[in-house]
């Protein structure tokens, strides 16, 4: 499978001293996870439009140019999403490589037509679609130099889709990170919203929290009192499981053979993983801690969701799980366990979700074969009332 391109690395854990845990042994595959939630369902989230269950059409329009990361969007993407009973797609779009560098930052008309095509593909099938400004990497590195351009691009996007139905949603910026810290992210949001609202007074807008849309940073968001603004969070914890071996992650993430749920048998850590204290610490716990206390456990996932639930209860904002996934270096049973758990946590708390599909190692729909990747389909659809693929 082709490399997915260079992508800013995801959350690093806080540093901390930990015993060395490397040792011989082979990884084992996970056993099926029985999911049992205690207590009453905790649904607190009000629905965001018609969004309930969706999929990201990743690595197509968010690649530097379409096809560069092995994904060219086709009608099949939309057909398969619809046939699976999904109600929306999230469309990651890298506008920043298709717009002029200088004001008024004109977006390439031919590329805009491609986005129009995707919008029509979704709407003609009764799918909602989220236009998500994705991978503006320069903005994360030098926010002050790129804010005007972000505002200029959004002015064009907003005006172009102003007459579309409310099943077209706008997501202002995927995964703010790096130098676009909470203060700067809030400053950017404060500039973007009035510009978008000038042409789209009531369209639903989705805003991601800082640190790759981390639940822990939701509370740092400063948002106007506008009922049509929802927040988004992403769920990739435990990241050493979901991103094991990912080509776009740093060397300390390259230890594979990690199962879900833990504990798993000892695997040899990569050199960089051995040198990185939070990774050693996490691995030590993963190898030894009992299921209930293991860092690769439903409790870890629940703790992330609890932060979102608290935020929603405190603010009344609606929250959207815009991405979750687990790479296929993990064994199929572990992926199925993890994806089902996350999906069901989202549903019982009333959060619409969209699984991440990059057409590569986090593929969900194999469009060439017109077949869903089995563990993903089982996790997402097996206990759903609607038609499963």
Evaluate the CA torsion angle 376, 382, 386, 389 in order and state its sign: positive
Distance CA 94, CA 188 (A): 17
C-alpha torsion 243→249→253→255, nearest 10: 80
Neighbours of 228 (CB within 10 A): 16
Least distance to ligand BGC, CB of residue 37, Å: 26
Strands (E), 184-243: 205-208, 229-235
**Chain position whose Cβ is nearest to ligand BGC:** 7
Cβ within 8 Å of residue 50, ≥6 positions away = 87, 88, 128, 167
Least distance to ligand BGC, CB of residue 288, Å: 28
Least distance to ligand BGC, CB of residue 19, Å: 29
CB nearer ligand BGC, residue 260 or residue 356: 356
CB nearer ligand BGC, residue 60 or residue 261: 60
- Among residues 374, 342, 345, the alpha carbon closest in space to that of 355 is found at 342
- Residue 319 · residue 312 · CB < 8 Å: yes
CB nearer ligand BGC, residue 242 or residue 276: 242
Q: Which residue has the tokens 């932060």?
A: 307
CB nearer ligand BGC, residue 105 or residue 253: 253
Least distance to ligand BGC, CB of residue 204, Å: 20
CB nearer ligand BGC, residue 329 or residue 356: 356
Least distance to ligand BGC, CB of residue 241, Å: 13
Least distance to ligand BGC, CB of residue 322, Å: 8
Chain positions contacting ligand BGC, by CB under 6 A: 4, 7, 10, 134-135, 174-175, 323, 356, 358
DSSP state of 286: H
CB nearer ligand BGC, residue 105 or residue 136: 136
Least distance to ligand BGC, CB of residue 352, Å: 17
- Residue 360 · residue 57 · CB < 8 Å: no
Distance CA 250, CA 150 (A): 28
Backbone angles phi, psi at 203, to 5 degrees: -65, 145
């Amino acid at each position: 499978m082709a490399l997915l391109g260079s992508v800013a690395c995801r959350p690093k854990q806080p540093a901390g001293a930990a015993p060395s845990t490397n040792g011989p042994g082979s990884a084992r595959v996970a056993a099926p996870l029985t999911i049992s939630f205690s207590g009453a369902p905790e649904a607190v989230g009000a629905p965001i439009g018609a969004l309930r269950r969706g999929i990201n059409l990743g690595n197509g329009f968010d690649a530097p140019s379409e096809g560069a990361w092995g994904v060219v969007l086709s009608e099949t993407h939309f057909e398969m999403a619809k046939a699976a009973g999904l109600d929306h797609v999230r469309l990651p779009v890298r506008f920043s490589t298709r717009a002029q560098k200088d004001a008024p930052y004109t977006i390439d008309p031919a590329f805009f037509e491609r986005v129009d095509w995707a919008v029509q593909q979704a709407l003609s099938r009764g799918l909602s679609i989220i236009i998500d400004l994705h991978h503006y990497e320069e903005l994360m590195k030098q926010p002050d130099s790129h804010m005007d351009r972000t505002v200029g691009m959004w002015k064009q996007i907003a005006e172009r889709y102003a007459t579309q139905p409310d099943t077209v949603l706008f997501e202002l910026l995927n995964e703010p990170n790096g130098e676009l810290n909470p203060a700067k992210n809030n400053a950017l949001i404060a500039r973007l919203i009035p510009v978008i609202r000038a042409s789209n007074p009531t369209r639903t807008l989705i805003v991601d929290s800082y640190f790759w849309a981390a639940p822990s940073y939701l509370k740092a968001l400063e948002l106007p009192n506008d009922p049509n603004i929802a927040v988004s969070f992403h769920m990739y914890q435990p990241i050493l499981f979901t991103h094991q071996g990912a080509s776009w992650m740093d060397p300390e993430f390259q230890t594979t053979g990690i199962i879900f749920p833990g504990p798993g048998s000892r695997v040899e850590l990569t050199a960089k993983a051995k040198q990185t204290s939070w990774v050693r610490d996490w691995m030590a716990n993963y190898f030894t801690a009992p299921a209930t206390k293991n860092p690769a456990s439903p409790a870890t996932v629940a703790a992330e969701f609890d932060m979102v639930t608290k935020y929603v209860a405190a603010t009344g904002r609606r929250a959207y799980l815009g991405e979750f996934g687990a790479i296929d270096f993990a064994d199929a049973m572990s992926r199925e366990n993890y994806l089902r758990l996350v999906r069901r946590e989202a549903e019982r708390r009333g959060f619409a979700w969209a699984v991440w599909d990059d057409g590569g190692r986090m593929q969900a729909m194999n469009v060439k074969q017109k077949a869903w990747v089995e563990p993903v389909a089982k996790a997402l659809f097996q206990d759903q009332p609607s038609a499963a693929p």
